[in-house]
Amino acid sequence: MHHADVMMNEANNGRFYCVYRVSLWAHAVNCLDRHVHTCPERVALIWERDEPGSEFKVTYRQLLEMTCRLGNLLRRHGVKRGDCVTIYMPSCPLAVASMLACARIGAAHNVVFAGFSAEALAERIRDAQSSTVITVNQGVRGGKLTELKKTVDTAVQSCPTVQQVFVAMRTENPVAMTAKDVAMEEVREQKENQTLIKILMPTAEDRKLYFNKRKQLSLFGCGFITMLWLLHVISDNAQEMQKEDVVCEPAAMDSEDVLFLLYTSGSTGKPKGLVHTQAGYLLYAALTHRYVFSYHDGDVFGCVADIGWITGHSYSVYGPLANGGTSVLFESTPIYPDPGRYWEMVQRLKINQFYGAPTAIRLLLKYGNQWVHKYDRSTLKTLGSVGEPINTEAWEWYHTVVGDGRCPVVDTWWQTETGGICITPRPSNPDAEIVPGMAMRPFFGIKPALMDTEGEVLTSNHTSGALCIAQPWPGMARTIHNNHQRFIETYCQPYPGYFFTGDGAYRSKEGYYQITGRLDDVINVSGHRIGTAEIEDVVNQCSQVAESAVIGYSHNIKGEGVYAFVVLKKGMDVEEMDLSRQLNDLVSKKIAKYACPDCIQVNSRLPKTRSGKIMRRVLRKVVEQDLNGLGDLSTLDDPAAVQEIIEVIVNII
Ligand code: WT7
C-alpha cells in the first residue's frame, strides 16, 4: 500500500487506495540519460548569472557528465544510498548537478536556501543528520558577495555529524580551507574543452568587476590579495571532479524511497524536514509543469525562484528536466542592475513561460511601465504567480503590462508539503475562464474540501472554510524527517481523513477557489514562509527582552510584514533605535534577514488569556485598526493590556 494512504488512514477510519510499488531508475536517469539518448545537445539549463548578459548554457550531455562526475566523487568519499547530503548553494548548474548526483546514487538531498544564517543552516544539518555538505566559496547576488563558505564553517562547528564539505568556486576569491574541506575544482582557467571548469569560471565581465573592486583597495592590499590568490592556485592541485569518470552507475530505487528533504516553517517550534519520495513527486512535478504552464518541447521555461525553496525544486529542476525542457536558473534579483532585469532577460533568453512571486511584481509595478515596455516580451506565452496571494492590482499589471493582455496568468496555489501545484487555472483548456486573483480550479487528482469550525465539510458554494485535501495525490510529502508523529498531528489530525493545508479558502458561486491566507501562526514575508513562534524564540533571546508576541500585518510590497510586540525586563530602559538594531542583528544571525521585524512596539504587558496564552488574534485586530472586530475578550486576563496597546498604536499613528 502507498505510504501516503497509510498516513491518511492512520488518523482516519478506513478508506484506502491500493497503489503498486515499483522499482525505478534514479531520477538522474529520468531527468538526464533519457534525453541524452534522444537530444544530447539540447540546452537543459540556462544559468542566468548575477551579471546580466553573462548567461551560461548547459546541454543535457554536459549536465549528465557533471552529475556523473559528482556522483562518483560523492561515492568515492563514502556517501551511500540512504545518506543525506546538505546543499548550501545559490541557483547554479553545479547545485542542480549536486541534487541530481545525490538522486543518482540514492542519497537524499537537503537544499538549504543560501540566505539562511549559520545557525539556521546548522539546525537543518543536525536535524537531517547530514555527514556531507556541498557549498561554494562565495555567492554573488545583486552585485554583492556573500560569504557562503564562511557561513558553512561556522555552522559545521556545531554539527558533529559533518565529516566533509565540498567547496566549489563561484568567484575567484580564495577561501581558507579546513581539514574537512574538499576543493571540487581549481580556480585557474582550464583548456577549452573542459566545460565543467568553464561553467564555474568567471567570464571576462566578471573579472572586470573583480579587478575594478580591487582597484579600490590600497596598492599593498591589492598586491597581497593577488599573492594569496596565486599561492592558492599554485599550491592547490586538487581537481576533484575532473578526476572522476563521466559514467556513474545509477541506483535502482523503490517508488517510495526518499528523494529529498526540504525544511519549512510550521506554526510551532523548529522547522520541519518534509520528506518527498521518488515516483510520485517526479510524476507530479512533471505533469503540473507540462499542463499548468502549457509547456511544449523547445520552450524556454523561466522560473525565477531560488532552488532553496520547493518552487525551485519542482519548477527549475525536476519538472522541466523530467520533461526534457530548457530551464532558466536565476541567480540575481528583480532590480539588479535595474528594475528592467526580468524583462531584459525575457528578451535576451527568449523566455516562453515566466514564473515569479507577487512580492516582486508589486515592487516592479511601483517603478513604472517604462521598464517593461523597453524590452521585447513577444516570446512570453504563460505568466505564473506563486507563494502568496496576488492582489488584483498586481494581477492586472502582470496581465496587461507584462503580458500585453495576451498571456494567461496562472495563480498557482500549493505548498512545500504538496510537492507541486494543486489549485490553479489551466490555460491548456482554452474554454476555461480565469478570474483575477483566484487560484481557480483543482489540478487533476486533487479533491479540495472546505471545513467549518465544527470540522464538518462545507458542501455549498459561496462559502469560506479551512482548506483540506480529501484524498492523497502523487506529489504529497510522506512524512516529517524523524518525526512522523508531528506529521500526523499537523496534517492528518485536525480534520480526520483529510489533509489539512493550514490555509483558509473561499469557494465562489461558480465553484472557483480563492486562497484567503494562513489560519495558523505562519506568515508569508515576501513569499517566504516563517513561523511567528520562530521569530519570537529569537526575540526572547535578547538580553533586555522579557517576552514578545510576533504577528504578520499587511505590507504593500512584502505581502506581510513582521510586527513584534516586546515587553522589556524590569528596570530595562533602552532606546527604540538601539532595540531595533539589536533585534535585527539577532534575527538575521539566528534565522535570515527576511525574518527581521519591520515594526517593534514596546509595551508593559501583552494581552493574555487567564491560562497565560498570548492572544495574537487581538493583536492582529489592533494592528489592522479593526477595533470593532476584537471579538470575544471575556477570556482576557487583564483588559487594560489591550487598552494600553491601542493607545500606543494610536500615538504612533
Ligand atoms: C504557503 C506555502 C508554493 C510554493 C512556494 C511557497 C501560500 C502559496 C499561494 C497562492 C495564496 C499561496 C500559502 C501556502 N501560498 N501559493 N497562489 N495564493 N497563497 O511554498 O513556503 O511551503 O508556502 O504559501 O499560505 O500554505 P511554502
User: Which alpha helices (DSSP H) does 236-384 contain, by range?
Assistant: 278-292, 310-312, 319-322, 341-349, 358-367, 370-373
If you measure from the C-alpha of residue 416 to the centroid of ligand 1, how many angstroms do you get, rounded to a whole number?
Answer: 8
If you measure from the C-alpha of residue 515 to the centroid of ligand 1, how many angstroms do you get, rounded to a whole number?
Answer: 9
Rama region for 507: left / alpha / beta (φ>0; ψ in -120 to 50; rest)? beta
Residue 41: is its pLDDT beyond 70? yes
Element (H, E) at 479: strand 479-480
Report pLDDT for 23.
Answer: 67
Residue 463: is its pLDDT beyond 90? yes
Q: Is the dihedral of CA 392, 393, 399, 405 positive or negative?
A: positive
Q: What is the ipTM of this complex?
A: 0.99
Report which ligand 1 atom has the smallest distance to the Cα of 502: 26
If you measure from the C-alpha of residue 421 to the centroid of ligand 1, how many angstroms do you get, rounded to a whole number?
Answer: 10
Return the residue whose CA atom lies nearest to atom 23 of ligand 1. 415
Distances (CA, A) of 137 to 68, 118, 257, 357, 469: 22, 15, 32, 28, 43
Mean predicted confidence (pLDDT) in 22-27: 70
Report pLDDT for 5.
Answer: 45
Return the residue whose CA atom lies nearest to atom 6 of ligand 1. 387
Mean predicted confidence (pLDDT) in 171-184: 93
If you measure from the C-alpha of residue 529 to the centroid of ligand 1, how many angstroms do you get, rounded to a whole number?
Answer: 8
Asked if 170 and 90 count as a contact pair (C-beta separation under 8 A), the reply is: yes
Mean predicted confidence (pLDDT) in 388-401: 95
Report which ligand 1 atom has the smallest distance to the Cα of 311: 4
Report which ligand 1 atom has the smallest distance to the Cα of 411: 17
Percent residues over pLDDT 70 in the chain: 87
Report which ligand 1 atom has the smallest distance to the Cα of 528: 21
If you measure from the C-alpha of residue 531 to the centroid of ligand 1, how many angstroms do you get, rounded to a whole number?
Answer: 13
Candidates 361, 415, 422: which one to mutate for ligand 1, based on the most atoms within 8 Å of Cβ? 415
Element (H, E) at 356: strand 353-356
Provide CB contacts within 8 A for 295, sequence distance 6+: 289, 301, 320, 323, 325, 353
If you measure from the C-alpha of residue 417 to the centroid of ligand 1, how many angstroms do you get, rounded to a whole number?
Answer: 10
Crossing angle of the two packed helices 204-215 and 219-235, in degrees rounded to 10: 140
Question: Torsions phi, psi of 98, nearest 5?
Answer: -65, -40
User: Which alpha helices (DSSP H) does 436-548 contain, by range?
Assistant: 484-487, 532-539
Candidates 303, 388, 554: which one to mutate for ligand 1, based on the most atoms within 8 Å of Cβ? 388
Which residues in 556-566 are b (16+ Cβ under 10 Å) and which e? Answer: eebbbbbbbbb
Return the residue whose CA atom lies nearest to atom 20 of ligand 1. 415
If you measure from the C-alpha of residue 111 to the centroid of ligand 1, how many angstroms do you get, rounded to a whole number?
Answer: 18
Asked if 527 and 388 count as a contact pair (C-beta separation under 8 A), the reply is: yes
Mean predicted confidence (pLDDT) in 531-556: 94
Report which ligand 1 atom has the smallest distance to the Cα of 305: 5
Report pLDDT for 270.
Answer: 86
Return the residue whose CA atom lies nearest to atom 27 of ligand 1. 415
If you measure from the C-alpha of residue 394 to the centroid of ligand 1, how many angstroms do you get, rounded to a whole number?
Answer: 17
Return the residue whose CA atom lies nearest to atom 8 of ligand 1. 387
If you measure from the C-alpha of residue 386 to the centroid of ligand 1, how many angstroms do you get, rounded to a whole number?
Answer: 7
C-alpha distance across the termini of the chain, in Å: 59
Candidates 113, 316, 414: which one to mutate for ligand 1, based on the most atoms within 8 Å of Cβ? 414
Residue 14: is its pLDDT beyond 70? no
β-pair partners for 532: none
Single-letter code of the amino acid located at 432: A
Mean predicted confidence (pLDDT) in 44-57: 96
Provide CB contacts within 8 A for 437, sequence distance 6+: 389, 390, 391, 392, 395, 411, 514
What's the rounded Cα separation, in Å, for the pair 601 and 438?
Answer: 35
Residue 219: is its pLDDT beyond 50? no
Residue 115: is its pLDDT beyond 80? yes
Report pLDDT for 347.
Answer: 98
How confident is the model over 575-625, as pLDDT tens digits? 888 999 999 999 999 999 999 999 999 999 999 888 788 888 899 999 988
Report pLDDT for 640.
Answer: 85
Candidates 480, 524, 532: which one to mutate for ligand 1, based on the most atoms within 8 Å of Cβ? 524
Residue 28 pLDDT grade (very low, low, confident, very high; cuts 50, 70, 90)? confident
Return the residue whose CA atom lies nearest to atom 17 of ligand 1. 413
Report which ligand 1 atom has the smallest distance to the Cα of 390: 18
Residue 116 pLDDT grade (very low, low, confident, very high; cuts 50, 70, 90)? very high
Report which ligand 1 atom has the smallest distance to the Cα of 423: 17
Residue 651 pLDDT grade (very low, low, confident, very high; cuts 50, 70, 90)? low
Return the residue whose CA atom lies nearest to atom 14 of ligand 1. 415
Return the residue whose CA atom lies nearest to atom 11 of ligand 1. 389
Report which ligand 1 atom has the smallest distance to the Cα of 515: 11
Return the residue whose CA atom lies nearest to atom 10 of ligand 1. 413
Return the residue whose CA atom lies nearest to atom 18 of ligand 1. 389
The three three-digit cell numbers of residue 529, written as one number: 514562509
Pairing of strands 326-330, 43-48: parallel
Report pLDDT for 268.
Answer: 75
Percent residues over pLDDT 90 in the chain: 75
The three three-digit cell numbers of residue 295, written as one number: 509547456
Residues with CB under 6 A from ligand 1: 264, 309-311, 386-389, 411-416, 439, 501-503, 515, 518, 524, 529
Among candidate residues 530, 590, 541, the one with its CA nearest the CA of residue 563: 530
Mean predicted confidence (pLDDT) in 78-95: 97
Candidates 265, 412, 413, 516: which one to mutate for ligand 1, based on the most atoms within 8 Å of Cβ? 413
Question: Torsions phi, psi of 234, nearest 5?
Answer: -75, -40
Which of 189-198, 382-391, 510-519, 629-638 has the lowest average pLDDT? 189-198
Q: Judging by beta carbons within 10 Å of its beta carbon (0-12, 13-18, 19+), is residue 315 exposed, middle or buried?
A: buried
Provide CB contacts within 8 A for 50, sequence distance 6+: 140, 141, 142, 143, 331, 332, 336
Return the residue whose CA atom lies nearest to atom 19 of ligand 1. 388
If you measure from the C-alpha of residue 611 to the centroid of ligand 1, how many angstroms do you get, rounded to a whole number?
Answer: 33
Report pLDDT for 642.
Answer: 87
Return the residue whose CA atom lies nearest to atom 1 of ligand 1. 415
Report pLDDT for 27.
Answer: 76
Which of 139-143, 309-313, 353-357, 623-627 has the lowest average pLDDT? 623-627
How confident is the model over 276-285, as pLDDT tens digits? 999 999 999 9
When comparing pLDDT for 185 and 309, which is higher?
Answer: 309
If you measure from the C-alpha of residue 415 to the centroid of ligand 1, how many angstroms do you get, rounded to a whole number?
Answer: 5
Report pLDDT for 372.
Answer: 98
Residue 243: is its pLDDT beyond 80? no
Return the residue whose CA atom lies nearest to atom 13 of ligand 1. 388
If you measure from the C-alpha of residue 72 to the centroid of ligand 1, how many angstroms do you get, rounded to a whole number?
Answer: 36
Mean predicted confidence (pLDDT) in 94-113: 97
Report pLDDT for 441.
Answer: 96
Candidates 515, 518, 521, 554: which one to mutate for ligand 1, based on the most atoms within 8 Å of Cβ? 515
pTM (predicted TM-score): 0.88
When comparing pLDDT for 12 and 103, which is higher?
Answer: 103
Candidates 264, 265, 309, 503: which one to mutate for ligand 1, based on the most atoms within 8 Å of Cβ? 503
Return the residue whose CA atom lies nearest to atom 12 of ligand 1. 388
Report pLDDT for 628.
Answer: 85
Report pLDDT for 572.
Answer: 84
When comparing pLDDT for 223 and 462, which is higher?
Answer: 462
The three three-digit cell numbers of residue 186, written as one number: 581549481
Report pLDDT for 512.
Answer: 97
Mean predicted confidence (pLDDT) in 19-41: 82
How confident is the model over 427-455, as pLDDT tens digits? 877 778 999 989 999 999 999 999 999 99
Mean predicted confidence (pLDDT) in 117-134: 97
